[in-house]
Amino acid sequence: MSNRRLPCLDTYLDKALIYLWPRFKTVFDMYIQSLYQCDAKMLWVDGTHPHHIVRCYMEFTASLIQLNAECGDGQLDMSLKRLRLAVDDLLVRFAEKFATQKLKHLFLLNNCDMAISILKVRFVLSCK
């Protein structure tokens, strides 16, 4: 908060972060674990359109990146990397359900395109 000329809030915000971070980390780890453990058969929808889980993941990731932009916390970066790997794994499991390589690649391409679009919109709007 020193950047915004409110240094009196630094101590309060530091204490809040120390209090909230362990719980956030626990919930975040549970979210990642649920992605690895979910049954791809139950969530899979026959179609090459982007999956709703990927949209939720990208919106969540974009929000955390925006919140973390000023301080650049390495712990959050590592957690986001682990989350990306979990979603990548889930997407590959979804793609394996398609009969042809062409459909697998189209599904993965559509999901990557949606992910890039969400990030682009979020960061273009935040720069304005």
Ranked by mean pLDDT, which of 12-16, 18-22, 66-70, 118-122 comes out on top?
18-22
Domain ranges for the chain, please list them: 2-127
Average model confidence (pLDDT) across the chain? 87
Distances (CA, A) of 11 to 1, 15, 19, 20, 72: 10, 6, 12, 14, 18
Cβ atoms of residues 113 and 54 within 8 Å: no
- Which among 28, 42, 49 is positioned nearest to 110, based on CA atoms? 49
> For 51-57, what is the mean pLDDT?
91
Q: Do 90 and 33 contact (CB within 8 A), yes or no?
A: no
Q: What pLDDT does residue 110 have?
A: 95
> How much is the average pLDDT of 19-38?
94
pLDDT > 50? residue 1: no
E strands within 4-112?
none
Extended strands (E) in 36-77: none
68: pLDDT confidence band, cut at 50, 70 and 90? confident
